[in-house]
Amino acid sequence: MPSLKSKTLFITGASRGIGKAIALRAARDGANIVVAAKTATADPRLPGTIHSAAEEIVAAGGQALAVVVDVRDEAQVRSAVDAAVERFGGIDILVNNASAIHLETVERTPMKRYDLMFEINARGSYLCAQACLPYLEKAANPHILTLSPPLDMNPKWFARHAAYTTSKYAMSMLSRGLAEELRGRGIASNSLWPRTVIATSALRIAAPDVAGQARLPTIMADAAWHILTRPSRELTGQLLIDEQVLRDTGVTDFEPYLVTPGVEPLIDFFVEP
């Protein structure tokens, strides 16, 4: 049976949401998780900190290292990588999960928001990959998994939020680029995106009605697990969708992933119905 036991995962934005779900799924195997996120003190609007996530990871059966990391800050990222290596002896997997979102037109997207999305989404993913590479090269089955969408040039994905779309597509293009650059070294690089809306804490606050027509973050965690336990030389350069990943492993019942039993979930951005 494939397992992430004793593997060390460096997960950005792992204090809540999809990042934490991926961490908890790996922890059930006995993995080591580096919780690399900004939230060190509780926010009453968005539950979860790096410390509470670490406690849940340990309770689930893993080991955890909570590190305050703003992926825009090169010094913080490199310091966190050093701390991970000192604690766990290396890094086997990087999950680029941290992301910023602003769903507005060009006219309504101030440069501050534009810069934030590109600094976190594109530059942050690039920086984390670069910082982790020396240790991924030494790993037995190294993977980079980036939470970014399939590349679809249909104008509808750009019309309403061009800045957000291009920042997320930049992550996917980086994912593809890393796959080709690192193929000869046996380091896999893939992207994963949800077919439907995922009920994260942020979504429950911003759009509670929509959250009821969503799937739980566990579907992304289960899909990520199947990707990260595959031999790295066999699966790389793919822009994957969570539901298809699970269908390919034989899953046919997606009812357990629904927030509201019996309610068909909404299709997410960048995915055709």
Q: Please indicate, yes or no, if residue 149 is contained in any of the structural domains.
A: yes
Q: Please indicate, yes or no, if residue 125 is contained in any of the structural domains.
A: yes
Number of domains in the chain: 1
What strand order describes the sheet that includes 188-193? 63-68, 32-37, 8-12, 93-96, 143-146, 188-193, 239-241
pLDDT at site 47: 86
pLDDT at site 43: 83
Active site residues: 164
Q: Please indicate, yes or no, if residue 117 is contained in any of the structural domains.
A: yes
Question: Tens digit of pLDDT for each residue in 237-254?
Answer: 999 999 999 999 999 999
Q: Please indicate, yes or no, if residue 272 is contained in any of the structural domains.
A: no
Q: Please indicate, yes or no, if residue 105 is contained in any of the structural domains.
A: yes
pLDDT at site 209: 81
Q: Please indicate, yes or no, if residue 3 is contained in any of the structural domains.
A: no
Kindly report the pTM of this predicted structure: 0.97
Q: Which domain holds residue 207?
A: 8-257
Q: Please indicate, yes or no, if residue 270 is contained in any of the structural domains.
A: no
Question: Tens digit of pLDDT for each residue in 170-220?
Answer: 999 999 999 999 999 999 999 999 999 999 887 877 777 888 999 999 999
Segments in the chain below pLDDT 70:
none
pLDDT at site 129: 98
Mean pLDDT, the chain, as a whole number?
96
pLDDT at site 46: 83
pLDDT at site 205: 76
Q: Please indicate, yes or no, if residue 207 is contained in any of the structural domains.
A: yes
pLDDT at site 122: 98
- Report the CATH number that the domain containing residue 85 is assigned in CATH: 3.40.50.720
pLDDT at site 67: 98
